[in-house]
Structure 1
């Protein structure tokens, strides 16, 4: 009887150790791969008309239109209006709003959207005649990113943790926007 009890305790300890070791191994693997944060980071501060704004300039659900190749401008087209179905006998007319309608905001002067790929990541900028706006900045795997914006310039740094840094500078202080890439 005592021998059977010793075997049961030994089996329980061995099973508990195996389950713990398996859970720890799976947890270690999954924490490094399955739950990584997204690589594309929305930029929360933009520059419009030379003034810094707090309005988001990109989002995770809105993407810039694709271009034929890097550095080629992308054109924007308005979606075709969808035909509205005729009213059915069961539909109610929309309720009148109590407040007066706001006049539409004037469209912002759109510039050309250009992509600047580097070994550390990709920077997409919208370049107008006298200003620039950061559309997105996406680091390559195992690279980190830092963004600075000002009324006259934008700087995006990609670093790999081993001392390599790639910087993309866009300046437009009194001249059309110029983009420069520095690889250190």
Structure 2
């Protein structure tokens, strides 16, 4: 009986030491990989009004209430392009989401067939605020010191949003291929 207790005690000590050592190693590694918390971007009054109006169901003449949509990540304002040919009329135009005088950058949104990309464009660089693929599209992001590329893919269709600032202020190009 005494011999069994000694074995159990030795096993408990060894297991406790292993768990402690593992926890300490993981804690040390994870403490060095702290990420910045996500930023909340301010909405302009026009955007807030448009968002609240877009999320309401359209008024109807009858008294039957239409079912409310489930929780969403924002209004679905994406419209399909009439063709997949890369011409001036098919390329999306950037729309400024917000611009605060305290910040030196401008937050711009680019809606494409594949999804939506939002950049914070500063004088000498840009940062990716968000990238959201559309339904049925996948997304991949590449970042370097001088550019950011977001590519949406669906089957053989590809939409690329490319922001560069290596030789001047940031500029964004949208391409469909």
Structure 2 length as normaliser, TM-score? 0.49
Higher relative contact order (CA 8 A, sep 6+): 1
Name the larger-Rg structure: 1
Structure 1 length as normaliser, TM-score? 0.47
